[in-house]
Structure 1
Amino acid sequence: MPAEQKPEIASVWTRPRRQREQLSREQIVAEAVRLLDADGIEALSMRKLGTRLDAGATSLYRHVANKDELIELVVDEVYGELTVPTAAGPEEWRDAAARSAYSLRAMILRHPWVASVLGQVGLVHLGPNVTKMSERMAAVYRTAGFRQAETELALSTVISYVIGMATSEAAYLSLIARSGRTEREFAETLRGDGASEGDGASEGDGGGAGDTRTEDPAKVREETFDYGLQRVLDGLRARLDSTAP
């Protein structure tokens, strides 16, 4: 008796593309990304997406079996926006790692919904963009000199920091957008008067450039993100030094 064959797990990436369809997979994915950017992950449904495309849900199911497959596709789509530079040698790894982290942060801020679904994607199947970008990022840490067993751990540490910070930023920016104010106006509202009556300067700065009311909130967010990122990279640099032969 032949050995029992295990059924293959279906994957959206192995599903044959239908030719000469009025609606293409690319159109479905692009519209799904626009829907998610506008309304968030809770708003995504096959029926709502079909309405936006002026097509019935049945038309969508010819390309994707369910919402989970659609999420795999849209995550892979936005991963294609990442810029991951190569590191020619160990001395270049830190700059390449930082630039990759900034690119991931920018992508999450453009698509705030993605952070909440990153952990749900790729457990069984990885799309081409996710696979390519993940390998490029891992290559940076291998070039740095991390041992094989530590490469993934080092990369995961940086990615976890980026996702955590960017998710917090995205939530803050969404709150501002709902308020109808600019980021600077919103920051002023949170500060209140910013100083005691009659005191035109923040504490200890004499009213100069250090006055928090004159700071660019976007610049402050970026500086805060960079401070934490550099400290994470400091730790990884120290780890490399401690394990150097």
Structure 2
Amino acid sequence: MPAEQKSEIASVWTRPRRQREQLSREQIVGEAVRLLDADGLEALSMRKLGTRLDAGATSLYRHVANKDELIELVVDEVYGELAVPAATGPADWRDAAARSAYSLRAMILRHPWVASVLGQVGLIHLGPNVTRMSERMAAVYGAAGFPAEETEQALSTVISYVIGMATSEAAYLSLIARSGRTEREFAASLRGSEQGSGEREPGDEDPARAREETFDYGLQRVLDGLGVRLTAI
């Protein structure tokens, strides 16, 4: 084919949707998310996904060119789960920022694989959900009073904290799942080990609540720091 006749698709978001096909992009993305949730990123392949959809890999390639495009799609799909409340001004920005952070944490814990692929998603060709939610989160910090040149930095600081903490939590929960025990049973076994080594028993607290309290403590301290910065602007 002559060079002038070649049509290169720059991004999955500019790829035209195929109509009247038995397999849709939505079906592909939905099944890919379920595969990732169940088996992790290492298990994702076009061949395995095609098998789960009872379709050949060739059928998938009509909608996505490669695994990288598929990752862009699934990341955008789960970003659509975020709940980002609006902040109307300096008085309510902190509550909106905290609720957004909790929503991001919850999404990562539902889809532990997402944290490890965020860096793979092209920063030029962002999907509609990632774009919309990023803009909504940035607006929260803009409403707080951060100047335009600091809004993204403030948002990135909070997001980095959330991703770091949630990734650690997700790894811990995966370890528990592989053990075949509940989180409370796993925590009890750790307390038993500590007692055996002479450590003081920390008490029979709810481990899920303890994780949330730890997350919230760090989040509030990050927001404290941003609040101090606002007073200096």
TM-score by length of 2: 0.93
CA shift at 1:195, angstroms?
4.0
Which residue number corresponds to residue 153 of structure 1?
153
Change (3 A) 1:22 1:172: same
Task: Quote the residue 1:98 is aligned against.
Answer: 98
Q: Using the alignment, how far apart are the partners of 1:51 and 1:242 within structure 2?
A: 58
Q: 1:193, CA displacement in angstroms?
A: 5.4
Are 1:61 and 2:51 matched, yes or no?
no
2:35 matched to which residue of 1?
Answer: 35
Query: How far did 1:212 drift?
Result: 3.1
- 2: distance between equivalents of 1:213 and 1:48? 45
Larger Rg: 1
Deviation at 1:122, TM superposition (A): 3.1
- Where in structure 1 do 4 or more consecutive aligned residues deviate above 3 Å? 193-197
Specify the code of the residue in structure 1 equivalent to 2:213.
E
Unaligned runs of 5+ in 2: 1-6
The question of 1:228 aligning with 2:222 is answered no
Secondary structure of the residue aligned to 1:90 is: coil
The 2-side partners of 1:178 and 1:213 are apart by: 25
The RMSD of aligned alpha carbons is 1.7
Provide the aligned length of Structure 1 versus Structure 2: 227
Alpha-carbon contact 1:188-1:213 (below 8 Å) kept: no
State the partner residue of 1:3: none
Provide Cα deviations, 1:119-166, integer angstroms capped at 9, x if missing partner.
111322000000000000000000000011100000000000000000
Letter of the structure 2 residue corresponding to residue 85 of structure 1: P
**Following superposition of structure 1 onto structure 2, how do residues 57-136 of structure 1 map, counting pairs within 5 Å?**
57-136=57-136
TM-score normalised by L of structure 1: 0.89
CA contact (8 A) 1:80 1:130 kept: yes
Counterpart of 1:212, as a letter, is P
Cα distance between partner residues in 1 of 2:111 and 2:87: 27
Q: Partner of 2:4 in structure 1?
A: none
Which 5+ residue runs of structure 1 have no aligned equivalent? 1-6, 204-210
Q: Conserved in 2, the CA contact under 8 Å of 1:46 and 1:60?
A: yes
Whole-angstrom CA distance in 2 between matches of 1:128 and 1:8: 21
Q: Distance in 1 between matches of 2:229 and 2:212?
A: 26
Output the CA distance in 2 between the equivalents of 1:219 and 1:19: 47
- Deviation, structure 1 residue 79: 0.1
